[in-house]
Chains A and B, each alone.
Chain A
Amino acid sequence: AQTVTQSQPEMSVQEAETVTLSCTYDTSESDYYLFWYKQPPSRQMILVIRQEAYKQQNATENRFSVNFQKAAKSFSLKISDSQLGDAAMYFCAYSVHNDMRFGAGTRLTVKP
């Protein structure tokens, strides 16, 4: 069974600083996709970034980047130049054959 583990229930970062959210997953598949989703309070889930397992290059989307370590089954999210609007729950997700499973989430607080 696929499992996704986010070991940090809560994280805090100072505005304009950098923070890294951790995610590990367990799978026997070799070809899969990984995602980070953001869920602001009382708002819908938004896709932040995605990584294809067969690509070695780490994905980057503006201030968001990932560190994908396939052998270690690790997929961390780095947020640079944190902004107040980044405050949200962040969910790591794993998908294979269009079947997506989520971790329990990390609540990110951004301090002004």
Chain B
Amino acid sequence: DTGVSQDPRHKITKRGQNVTFRCDPISEHNRLYWYRQTLGQGPEFLTYFQNEAQLEKSRLLSDRFSAERPKGSFSTLEIQRTEQGDSAMYLCASSEVVTRGAGGYTFGSGTRLTVV
């Protein structure tokens, strides 16, 4: 297992277009998280899955954003009708569910989205 993989690494799109990102977590990890990181800021939570169930969504995740994790394996994050404000690094992370607190996340390298 090579860790958390994200594809693509970079995406440039025109405003109004739809984009989809993919995340492949560590195979033993049943939790998967999406974060958004803008320049000079820490990651902001978007949503997370436990297996195939989406358990929480941030209010940052507008109706134009949708995430799926079919069969509890890879996940996709789609942004419809992109806006310039969507330009950011989109990070995926995975973790095991532990009885207490958190075992720490393993992050992917991220997908950098630029909306022009």
Binding site for B on A (CB under 8 A): 4, 6, 31-33, 35, 37, 43-47, 50, 52-53, 91, 93, 95-105
23 contacts between A and B (CB under 8 A): A33-B101, A33-B102, A33-B104, A35-B104, A44-B108, A45-B91, A45-B105, A47-B104, A52-B100, A95-B102, A97-B101, A98-B31, A98-B95, A98-B102, A99-B45, A99-B48, A100-B33, A100-B45, A102-B42, A102-B44, A103-B42, A104-B41, A105-B42
Residues of B within 8 A of A96 (CB): 101-102
- Which of B35, B40, B100 meets A31, CB within 8 Å? B100
- Which of A31, A44, A50, A103 meets B107, CB within 8 Å? A44
User: Quick check: B45 and A43 within 8 Å, CB to CB?
Assistant: no
Nearest 8 CB-CB pairings of A with B: A102-B42, A33-B101, A95-B102, A45-B107, A44-B109, A33-B102, A47-B104, A102-B43
Residue B110 is within 8 A (CB to CB) of chain A in the complex: yes
Residues of A within 8 A of B106 (CB): 47
Report the count of interface residues on B (CB-CB < 8 A): 26
Binding site for A on B (CB under 8 A): 31, 33, 35, 40-45, 48, 56, 91, 93, 95, 97-98, 100-102, 104-110
CA distance A35 to B110 in the complex (A): 20
Residue of B nearest to A46 (CB): B107
User: Quick check: A100 and B91 within 8 Å, CB to CB?
Assistant: no
